[in-house]
């Protein structure tokens, strides 16, 4: 348990440093919030908005929010740096300057430019505009999106997962120098590594070539799994439910299997033997589309959709607590919602593993298809 | 409204597909219990492919 | 197409960079040593198993050898015992034969000497008888000369004896 304790200690330390560095931002919302009751979540629309807000990436790391006696909305958490590539170059400031405003009413001035945050996206106002004006579909008319390289909540999640994986497995690697069989937390990690190797890599890629791809498969497997599990913690990460993250993962898989494609693979893809010559170009287009578009797309959409769906369903079921209050009373509604949420969370635990497994498995399968050398008949 | 009907159709299709996969896999396992591991892995892969398809359709229709 | 509206290039870029750095770091500091030592351990276990198998076979061979040796030794011992017994029997038989011969010769000698003695004794007896008869005859003759009647009595007595014999 030493490793776990140490990494927990490390994590706590890292969090503390982050919190103190970003100056404990327990700030107050301005009155012009969209919800005039201080941001309480009560109606169906508010719940739907809240879930949407959770599913989107966030520029603050809010642990919880509450309203004080004066009706002011208080947010407990810490702000994160915002890094933008605007029309006048790099701009950086802390997200606390938006005061948790998410509808574009708080403007931040930097380098003579005004920035507003609308639905977790940062917009740069046009040169002559002083406030954001919206059309009837709530799209900003006088502002445009900027390239946003902020350390958002998802990036923090990625970094935490990366640190966890790195420290866990380098500790395990160090253990092997002194003993054959790891002890403590390493004993949990070792079978997982063996599982990825023996159940995912070997059967799908083949005994001869699997070694080369093991680092990628292991990294992806643990990365996705840890992030999925972090999504189930009350910290409220939704990293693998960010389309950008899954696109990135699928793209790396695509690059891996395209660059390692064997001669046979390309021959079979582009000029299928044993098929009438007239059909071959059509088949080549289909095969190429399959390998370059459909397969990565199915990879990225599956992970994204599963996690997003899981999060929204769990949050929706949790919101039953509020919606059923009038019918079943506080205790009844809470009980129903508690047991349903518990049940769904257990399923989500399974899904968290299953999605990591499937992503790794399908990556291995596609890599295996690409590196396979056919016996010529 | 229409996209809800579409979503319903996708779910029906996906449900039928998943049912077929699961049922056939069960039959296979019942026939050859020693091949259960392999059948399960193949079942999960095909299920995942189907799920990807269904989710893709749901997202495109959104 | 809401999801592509949500796509954030910045997050994508940061994720790409972090993931690649993580991949490289992990490959170098974690996966390589872990996989290497796992493989080492597996090959170690495999070789240990095959070694144990070999040792077992050797042991079996040794045991078979031992059994064979014991069997041979037992056979040899049996053979030796048999031989010894035969020798012993022969010796006893020989001794018995010798003893018989010796006794036989001794008996023969004894019989011969007995015979001799007997002969000698008979001869002596004959001689004595002869002398006795001569003595008797002498005395008879002497008496006859002195008394006719006595002579007759004597002869009569002698004759009686003779007929009785």
**Choosing among B3, B56, B59, B61, which should be mutated to test the C contact, i.e. which has the most C CBs within 10 A?**
B59
pLDDT at A100 over 90: no
No. of helices (H) and no. of strands (E), chain A:
11, 9
Q: What percent of chain A has pLDDT over 90?
A: 13
pLDDT at A186 over 60: yes
**Minimal-distance CA residue of chain A relative to B56:** A301
Do A125 and A202 lie in one domain? The reply is: no
Q: Do B51 and A306 touch (CB under 8 A)?
A: yes
| A376 within domain boundaries | no
Rounded to whole angstroms, the Cα distance separating A122 from A101 reads: 11
For residue A147, report the phi and psi dihedrals to the nearest 5 degrees.
-70, 125
Question: pLDDT of A261-306, one tens digit each?
Answer: 888 888 887 777 777 778 888 888 888 888 888 888 888 888 888 8
Do A101 and A159 lie in one domain? The reply is: no
Q: What is the dihedral of CA A23, A26, A32, A36, to 10 degrees?
A: 160
Sequence-distant (6+) residues with CB within 8 A of A42 are A322
Do A127 and A229 lie in one domain? The reply is: no
Identify the CA nearest to B45 among candidates A225, A362, A249, A364.
A362
Buried b (16+ CB within 10 A) or exposed e, A240-261: bbbbbbbbbbbebbbebbeeeb
The 3-state DSSP class for residue C147 equals: coil
pLDDT, averaged across chain A: 80
Query: What is the reported pTM?
Result: 0.74
Q: Do B49 and A365 touch (CB under 8 A)?
A: no
Question: Residue A28: what pLDDT?
Answer: 43
- Rounded to the nearest 10 degrees, what angle do helices C9-26 and A243-259 cross at? 50
DSSP A39: S
Boundary (domain end) residue, out of A126, A151, A176: A151
Question: Residue A301: what pLDDT?
Answer: 85
Do A161 and A146 lie in one domain? The reply is: no
If you average pLDDT over residues C80-102, what whole number do you get? 93
Identify the CA nearest to C41 among candidates A180, A112, A5, A362.
A180
Do A206 and A97 lie in one domain? The reply is: no
| A211 within domain boundaries | yes
Q: With beta carbons under 8 A apart, name residues in chain C contacting A57.
A: 8, 11
User: How far is Cα of residue A90 from the mean position of the Cα atoms in its chain?
Assistant: 25
Identify the CA nearest to C14 among candidates A254, A155, A239.
A155
Question: pLDDT of A197-247, one tens digit each?
Answer: 988 888 888 888 888 899 999 999 999 999 999 988 888 888 888 888 999
Sequence-distant (6+) residues with CB within 8 A of C154 are C140, C143, C144
Give the Å distances, CA to CA, from A136 to A120, A133, A139, B45, C16: 19, 10, 7, 45, 36
Confidence grade of residue A12 (pLDDT, cut at 50, 70, 90):
low
Rounded to whole angstroms, the Cα distance separating A77 from A151 reads: 15
pLDDT at A26 over 50: no
Question: pLDDT of B19-54, one tens digit each?
Answer: 999 999 999 999 999 988 888 888 888 888 788 788
Do A280 and A318 lie in one domain? The reply is: yes
Do A300 and A236 lie in one domain? The reply is: yes
| A377 within domain boundaries | no
pLDDT at C128 over 60: yes
For residue A43, report the phi and psi dihedrals to the nearest 5 degrees.
-90, 175
Do A336 and A212 lie in one domain? The reply is: yes
Q: Do B41 and A302 touch (CB under 8 A)?
A: no
Q: Kindly report the number of other CB atoms within 10 A of residue A135's CB atom.
A: 8
Confidence grade of residue A34 (pLDDT, cut at 50, 70, 90):
very low
User: How far is Cα of residue C97 from the mean position of the Cα atoms in its chain?
Assistant: 24
Give the side-chain half-sphere CA count within 13 A for C69: 6
Q: With beta carbons under 8 A apart, name residues in chain A contacting C25.
A: 166
ipTM above 0.85, yes or no: no
| A161 within domain boundaries | yes
Between A74-78, C45-49, C83-87, the lowest mean confidence (pLDDT) is in A74-78
Do A160 and A301 lie in one domain? The reply is: yes
Do A140 and A253 lie in one domain? The reply is: no
Boundary (domain end) residue, out of A84, A117, A151: A151
pLDDT at A64 over 90: no
- Containing C60, the helix (H) or strand (E) segment is helix C32-146
Domain containing A94: what range?
A: 28-151
Between A28-32, A128-132, A321-325, the lowest mean confidence (pLDDT) is in A28-32
Do A126 and A161 lie in one domain? The reply is: no
Question: Residue C62: what pLDDT?
Answer: 94
pLDDT at A37 over 60: no
| A40 within domain boundaries | yes
| Distance between C4 CA and the closest CA of chain A, angstroms | 8
Do A286 and A344 lie in one domain? The reply is: yes
| A194 within domain boundaries | yes
| Distance between A200 CA and the closest CA of chain B, angstroms | 10
Question: Residue A94: what pLDDT?
Answer: 83
The 3-state DSSP class for residue B32 equals: coil
- Containing A113, the helix (H) or strand (E) segment is strand A113-118
- Residue A302 is nearest to which of B41, B44, B51, comparing CB atoms? B51
Residue A29 CB burial class (10 angstroms; 0-12, 13-18, ≥19):
buried
| A316 within domain boundaries | yes
DSSP A336: H
Boundary (domain end) residue, out of A91, A120, A151: A151
Question: Residue A59: what pLDDT?
Answer: 82
Question: Residue A55: what pLDDT?
Answer: 81
Could you give the number of structural domains in chain A?
2
């Amino acid at each position: 348990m030493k490793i776990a304790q140490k990494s927990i200690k490390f994590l706590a330390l890292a969090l503390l440093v982050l919190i103190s560095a970003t100056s404990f931002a327990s700030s107050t919302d301005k009155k012009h919030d969209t919800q005039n009751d201080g941001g309480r979540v009560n109606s169906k629309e508010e719940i739907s908005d809240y879930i949407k807000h959770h599913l989107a990436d966030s520029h603050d790391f809010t642990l919880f929010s509450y309203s004080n006696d004066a009706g002011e909305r208080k947010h407990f958490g810490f702000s994160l740096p915002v890094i933008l590539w605007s029309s006048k170059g790099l701009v950086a400031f802390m997200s606390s300057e938006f005061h948790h405003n998410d509808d574009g009413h708080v403007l931040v001035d930097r380098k003579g430019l005004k920035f507003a945050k609308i639905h977790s996206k940062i917009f740069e106002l046009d040169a002559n505009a002083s406030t954001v004006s919206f059309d009837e579909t709530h799209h900003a008319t006088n502002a445009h999106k900027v390239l946003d390289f902020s350390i958002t909540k998802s990036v923090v999640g990625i970094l935490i997962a990366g640190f966890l994986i790195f420290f866990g497995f380098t500790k395990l690697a160090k253990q092997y120098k002194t003993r054959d069989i790891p002890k403590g937390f390493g004993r949990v990690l070792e079978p997982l590594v063996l599982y990825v190797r023996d159940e995912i890599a070997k059967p799908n890629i083949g005994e001869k070539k699997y070694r080369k791809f093991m680092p990628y498969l292991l990294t992806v497997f643990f990365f996705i799994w840890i992030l999925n599990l972090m999504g189930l913690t009350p910290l409220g990460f939704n990293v693998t439910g960010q389309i950008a993250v899954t696109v990135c993962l699928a793209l790396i898989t695509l690059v891996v299997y395209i660059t390692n494609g064997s001669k046979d693979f390309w021959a079979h893809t582009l000029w299928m033997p044993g098929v009438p010559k007239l059909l071959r170009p059509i088949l080549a287009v289909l095969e190429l589309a399959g390998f370059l578009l459909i397969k990565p797309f199915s990879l990225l959409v599956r992970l994204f959709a599963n996690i997003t769906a899981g999060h929204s369903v769990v949050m929706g079921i949790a919101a039953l607590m509020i919606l059923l209050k009038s019918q079943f009373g506080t205790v009844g509604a809470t009980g129903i919602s508690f047991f349903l949420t518990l049940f769904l969370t257990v399923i989500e635990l399974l899904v968290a593993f299953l999605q990591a497994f499937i992503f790794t498995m399908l990556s291995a399968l596609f890599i295996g298809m690409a590196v396979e050398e056919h016996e010529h008949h | 409204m229409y996209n809800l009907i579409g979503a319903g159709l996708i779910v029906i299709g996906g449900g039928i597909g998943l049912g077929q996969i699961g049922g056939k896999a069960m039959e296979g396992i019942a026939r050859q219990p020693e091949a259960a591991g392999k059948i399960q892995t193949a079942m999960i892969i095909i299920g995942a492919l189907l799920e990807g398809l269904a989710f893709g359709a749901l997202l495109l229709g959104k | 197409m809401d999801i592509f509206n949500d796509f954030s290039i910045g997050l994508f870029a940061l994720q790409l960079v972090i993931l690649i750095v993580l991949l490289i770091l992990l490959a170098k500091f974690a996966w390589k040593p872990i996989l290497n030592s796992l493989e080492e351990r597996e090959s170690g276990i495999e070789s240990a198993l095959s070694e144990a198998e070999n040792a077992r076979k050797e042991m079996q061979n040794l045991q078979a050898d031992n059994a064979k040796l014991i069997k041979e030794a037992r056979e040899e011992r049996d053979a030796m015992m048999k031989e010894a017994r035969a020798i012993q029997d022969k010796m006893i038989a020989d001794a018995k034969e010798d003893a018989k011969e010796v006794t036989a010769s001794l008996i023969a000698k004894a019989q011969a000497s007995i015979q001799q003695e007997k002969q000698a004794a008979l001869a002596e007896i004959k001689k004595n008888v002869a002398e006795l008869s001569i003595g008797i005859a002498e005395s008879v003759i002497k008496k006859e000369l002195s008394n006719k009647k006595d002579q007759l009595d004597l002869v009569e007595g002698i004759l009686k004896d003779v007929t009785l014999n």
